[in-house]
Amino acid sequence: MEEGLLIVLSGPAGSGKGTVSQLLLRSPDFAFSVSATTRAPRPGEVDGVNYHFITTADFEERIRRGELLEYTNYCGNYYGTLRREAEAILGSGRNLLLEIEVEGAANIKRLRPDAVLIMLLPPSFAVQEQRLRGRGTETEEKIRARLTRSREELDRLPIYDYIVYNRDDGAEACADDVRAIVRAERCSVRRNPDAEKKFFER
C-alpha cells in the first residue's frame, strides 16, 4: 500500500491551527497523531483526544525509552510526537498530520526529508495579538511569552515548503489550501521517481 504523506502544520499561537486541523480530519484521508504534553489541559480539552496529558517524570521516562519521534520544550512545557502512534498512521496509507512548533518541524525534516512543511499564518502580527487576547485561555504572561516566541518561529520560515494565510474566518479556505498542497505533492515528479518505468511496463 502507498504510504501517506507526512504533513507538518505549524503556526504561531492564535493562527487557527487547531480549527484547520479539525476541518481536515473530517476526511478519512487525514489522521492526527495525538502528542504527549506536560502542559495542563485547557477547558474542554480531552485526554487522549487533544493530547496525552502526562507528568514531567513520565515524559522524561519516555524520552529515555526512545518513544518520541521528536520533542521540544515550548514556553516551559514538554511536547512530543509518539513514534508508535505516528508510524501506525503512516503505515495505514492515510496522511499524517503533525500539528507541531518550529523546532519539532526542523527535527522531522531532518528525519524525514520527504515531509511537507506548512506554516499557517494570521494576516499580520497585529491581528495575531488581537486573536490571542480574544481567545481568553491564557494569562497575560503566557500571551506575552507566546507572542515573543512567534517572532522566533517566523525566523524559521525558510525551512517550510508552503505558507497558508488564515484570513478572517478563513479556516475552511485554509483547509482547502492544505488539501490542494497534498494533491499537488502527490503529482510531483520527485514523489514519483519510477514514473517512466511504470509507464513502459503497463
* Residues binding ligand 5GP (CB under 6 A): 13, 35, 39, 70, 72, 74, 79-81, 99-101, 103-104
Q: How far is the CB of 8 from ligand 5GP (least distance, A)?
A: 9
The answer to whether the beta carbons of residues 143 and 133 sit under 8 Å apart is yes
Alpha carbon separation from 12 to 21, 82, 147 (Å, rounded) = 14, 22, 8
Amino acid identity of residue 176, one-letter, is D
d(CA 105, CA 120): 13
- Residue number with CB closer to ligand 5GP (72 or 128): 72
Minimum CB separation of residue 44 from ligand 5GP in Å reads 12
Place of cell 477547558: 43
Give dist(CA 172, CA 178) in Å, integer: 10
Quick one: 18 or 192, whose CB is closer to ligand 5GP? 18
**CA 71, chain centre distance (Å):** 12
Residue 105 or 182: which CB sits closer to ligand 5GP? 105
CB proximity list for 159: less than 8 A, separation 6 or greater: 102, 105, 106, 109, 117
- Residue 162: beta bridge partners? 118
- Please report how close the Cβ of residue 74 comes to ligand 5GP at its closest, in angstroms: 5
3-class DSSP state for residue 5?
A: coil
Nearer residue to ligand 5GP within complex by CB, 139 or 188: 139
130 vs 194 by CB, closer to ligand 5GP: 130
DSSP β-ladder status, 116-121 and 162-165: parallel
Residue nearest to ligand 5GP (CB): 104
Find the shortest distance in angstroms from Cβ 153 to ligand 5GP: 8
Rounded to a whole number of angstroms, the minimum distance from the CB of residue 21 to ligand 5GP is 9
DSSP assignment letter at 89? H
Residue 2 beta carbon to ligand 5GP: minimum distance, rounded to whole angstroms: 25
